[in-house]
Structure 1
Amino acid sequence: MIGEQYARSIEELALKVFKAGQDYAAQRGIVIADTKFEFGLDESTDEIVLIDEVLTPDSSRMWPKNKYEPGREQESFDKEPLRKWLRAMGLEGKEGVSIPDDIALETSQRYKDVFTLLTGQSLNTALQA
């Protein structure tokens, strides 16, 4: 499909970016278990490029390091509270769903928490800068 040369380049780039992100997050109390990357080819330069979101709570499984316990489901910095609520209500995949305030707030807080851990400042502080 993409050829051995491109596959090798993509693998090397993916591992390098993942390791850098994993090390950065670990220093800030976050375990990055895995992630997904999307790559493209700049045909004008024949260069592999990293595209789309990179190392976000939506593209990666991120867990609080201080709560990590092997062999059990991990607490995560993502929209899992929303997913669980949608499944429980039989609304997964439906459009125009009204989400209860507590579910929206819990989900939002997870994103704010991981932002604060990764950047060392609150989202409100960052937005005022």
Structure 2
Amino acid sequence: MTETPRGFNTTAPDLPGWKHVYSGKVRDLYEPADESILQRVGQDCVLVVASDRISAYDHVLSSEIPDKGRILTQLSLWWFDQLDVEHHVLSSTVEGGVPPEVEGRAMICKKLDMFPVECIARGYLTGSGLQEYRASGTVCSIPLPEGLVDGSRLERAIFTPSAKAEVGEHDENITYDAVAAIVGDDIAARLSELTLKIYTTAERITRERGIILADTKVEFGYDAVSGSIALGDEVLTPDSSRFWDAATYKPGQAQPSFDKQYVRDWLTSAESGWDKSSDAPPPALPAEVVERTRSRYIEAYEKITGKTFA
């Protein structure tokens, strides 16, 4: 397990019987440190706790979004139940070993050897894919038809991986051949197959609920116990996916999304006074931006799952 990146301020809670070993932009990881917990949950597991931290433009902001970690965890758990894909979750309940202090925002998971690749499926053209397409007519070196615009639906979803970056750095889009060079031909083929399978299933489910899944990022790891590849981290949340409202979708323009759009918009506005090209950290978010962002996350959860977020 790697150490928390230098210079990264974490607010990871102290949890009796668990040792904090790593913090990412949103999640804190713990390993069992008490014999009674080891006997209860086993040695080959980690506790994954989703915080309320929010990141934008490769910065973790000083402001948090209340309930964000609970929303991400509960939505991921819902999706794990919908997908016919092996995953890393062992338990999400206090009865199953989750500390009561983080109930609702934590999962006990298999310890996986994660592949150093962000697996991305795109069914629509936008974001960094659109930028590459405008420059070369390709996305991750995959040729696309001429005449596509921001928000264009692709004839079929494509696998467009990226190389994982350290906290505070940009992920870099890479080609399929680059993935094969990193993990081998067989694993690269399996990662592509699984990623597109997840996207295709989720795109159908969200469309039935009036939401367009434009693209999504997933991560996989090797499970040494079962000898298989398993889905890890979060899955199909507003932090890892672009969700658009099908009722307002219109190609040729930026689509309103169910994520941290309000945060990005405010940070790049004159009101924030922040220059994202500088080394200065972003300012604290106004209460209105925090609440509107929280409401958008809740709306995504409720539209997708059909459940009321309590």
Q: Pick the TM interval, shorter chain.
A: 0.7 to 0.9
**Residue identity opposite 2:186 in structure 1:** Q
Alignment partner, residue 300 of structure 2: 114
Q: 1:72 aligns with which of 253, 257, 260?
A: 253
TM-score normalised per structure 1: 0.87
Q: Give the drift of 1:14.
A: 0.7
Distance 1:91 1:102, change over 3 A: farther
CA distance in 1, matches of 2:255, 2:291: 20
Q: Give the drift of 1:116.
A: 1.3
Q: Give the drift of 1:91.
A: 6.7
CA distance in 2, matches of 1:119, 1:45: 30
CA distance in 1, matches of 2:225, 2:183: 17
**Residue identity opposite 2:199 in structure 1:** F
Q: Deviations over 1:53-101 (max 9, x none)?
A: 1110110010011010011100100011112212322075726x43212
Larger Rg computed on CA atoms: 2
**Residue identity opposite 2:243 in structure 1:** M
**Residue identity opposite 2:217 in structure 1:** K
Task: Answer 1 or 2: which has greater strand percent.
Answer: 2
Paired positions, count = 123
Q: Which runs of 5+ in 1 are unaligned?
A: 125-129
Task: Answer 1 or 2: which has greater helix percent.
Answer: 1
Alignment partner, residue 101 of structure 2: none
Q: 1:33 aligns with which of 195, 201, 214?
A: 214
SS in 2 for 1:53: coil
TM-score normalised per structure 2: 0.38
Q: Which runs of 5+ in 2 are unaligned?
A: 1-181
Q: Give the drift of 1:114.
A: 1.0
CA distance in 1, matches of 2:186, 2:211: 33
